[in-house]
Amino acid sequence: MKLFYLIVTVLIIQSCAAQKQLRLPVNKDNNTLLWEITGKNLKQPSYMFGTFHILCKDDIQFSANLQTALKVSQKVYFEMDLDDPKNTLGGMFFMNMNDKTLNDLYTVEEIQKVSTYFRDSLKMNLSYFNKMKPMMLSALLYPKMMPCKTLSGVEIELMSIAKKEQKEILGFETIEFQSSVFDSIPYTVQAKELLKTIDSINNYKVYFNKMVSTYKEQQTDSLVSIVEDKSFSEGENNDALLKNRNLNWISQLKNILPKNNIFIAVGAAHLFGKDGLINLLRREGYTVKGIENKLK
């Protein structure tokens, strides 16, 4: 009988030691993209990571702590379920405007300028995209701002790991919802932003590269300043693109977090600032701490 209790005691001690090892080291300042969510009677920590939607593939590397956080989480939440064909292949259907074309949004001179840029710089015929939402078209400009040919997304690389770990992949939004967010911003405003980007493409390259380097260095305060720079970003549309969506996600997380420990991977701009997820979670009573996320 004593031997039985001795074995049980040893197993309990080993189990506690193993659990202690899973508590990842806290970052000494706020300059990290990986965050731990605890408190409010959560049984296990959940984790949250700020992503960047498009990067040079070689620049996408994950720290040991991040990989551990992903491994111990039961489910992975992206902005939308990237494993669902309705949200990927079906996305093409929602890229187009409902009742407008680019010709309706631009003067003859402006449409000629946009068309020339697409033809000469992107090697694309704009007529193929005449019904596409201007904000979607803007995404086609990003590869020209990158210093490499092989691109990927942080979410894509994370999903690859999650699938290998056989994690369930979920999302806070559907492609229909994301499309409605773009539709809430007038197409005329979107068209103006696209033309502005083309007119100042060299300045936008500097801005975009600064954003990328700041993200890679995990300088979160600087990242917030860049995102809120109204000279380049859609500052007046931040409520639609960031704040309102964050509030939507928080309402979902209040139901999700008590049931499962999860790994959240959403655009880094959603994490920080007054209306960012970190601050909103803290307002709900959760403890949110930065986790060391440097590559060894």
Rounded distance between C-alpha atoms, residue 32 and residue 38, angstroms? 17
Q: What integer pLDDT is reported at residue 235 of this predicted model?
A: 54
Kindly report, residue by residue over 265-281, the tens digit of the pLDDT: 999 999 999 999 999 99
pLDDT, tens only, 4-42: 333 333 333 233 333 344 578 888 788 999 999 999 989
Are 267 and 77 in contact by the 8 Å Cβ rule? The answer is: no
Q: What one-character DSSP code corresponds to residue 30?
A: S
Q: pTM for the complete prediction? A: 0.87
295 pLDDT band, cuts 50/70/90, is confident
What residue ranges do the domains of the chain occupy? 40-291
Alpha-carbon distance of 145 to 234, in angstroms, equals 18
Report the b/e string of 186-211 with b at 16+ CB within 10 A: ebeebbebbbebbeeeeebbebbeeb
Mean pLDDT over residues 116-139, rounded? 94
At 90 the pLDDT is 64
